[in-house]
Structure 1
Amino acid sequence: MWRGTLAPRRAWQLTEHLPPDSALAASLAGGPEHRGWTVQTHLLAQLLNAVRYADANNVRVSGGRLKREPVPVNVPQVKADKHERPRLDLSTHPLAKPIAPRG
């Protein structure tokens, strides 16, 4: 069993090149449910959802009936960055007006 010390610079070097599906990356993203969810797997899940909904739309347009609605792939949500600016919401402003529907 090694009981030496690990310099901060060496610790940084070791963690800098960890794979995106490592335990450290999962904990930084929000928890263990993010383990294995890399950028590529997020994109593949969104692509799969788009194909499922496009296929269902094609069946509807051609006059067919769906046996069941498409079920989206559940993707874990990434926690918001603490330093991210909040979105500007002007809907409660006294001069705000609803957008007229196109017609």
Structure 2
Amino acid sequence: MADIWRGTLAPRRVWNLSEHLPEDAALAASLAGGPEHRGWTLQTYLLAHLLNSVRFADANNVRVNGGKLKSDPKPVQTPQLKTERPALNLSRHPLAQPLPDKYIRG
């Protein structure tokens, strides 16, 4: 991302592009909470919760019908999501430049 700013791409456009990166992109993962979120898209979270629901429903059906389980089902562990996204701060980047006045709203 260091080579993006060449004077023709508005900062708002850069922000818009960074907000709409794929969910498994490195920037999206770091904003979600860290590298353990890499590859955890909305679909994989939903699939993990669906798998957990099926496991517990199956265990419940066994118990209701008088069966005994060797052990309780273990849920699929998912990384915890941050409740709010931090602001993207690139001001300390070595190639950072101040915004031109035409991009600053008054």
Specify if TM > 0.5.
Answer: yes
**Residue 37 in structure 1 maps to residue 40 in structure 2:** yes
State the alpha-carbon separation in 2 of the partners of residues 4 and 21 from structure 1.
Answer: 21
The Cα RMSD (Å) is 2.5
AA in 1 matched with 2:14: A
1:68, distance to aligned residue in structure 2 (A) = 1.4
The 3-state SS of whatever aligns with 2:84 is coil
How many residues align structurally?
82
Segment of structure 1 superposing worse, 17-26 or 53-62: 17-26
Structure 2: state its 5+ residue gaps. 86-106
User: What percent of counterpart residues are identical?
Assistant: 67
1:55, distance to aligned residue in structure 2 (A) = 0.3
Detail structure 1 runs of 4+ shifted over 6 Å in the superposition: none
Q: Corresponding residue for 2:67?
A: 64
Structure 1: state its 5+ residue gaps. 83-103
1:56, distance to aligned residue in structure 2 (A) = 0.2
Higher relative contact order (CA 8 A, sep 6+): 2
In the superposition, the TM-score normalised over structure 1's length comes to 0.67
In the superposition, the TM-score normalised over structure 2's length comes to 0.66
1:1-103 to 2 correspondences below 5 Å:
5-6=5-6, 7=9, 8-9=11-12, 11-12=14-15, 14-81=17-84
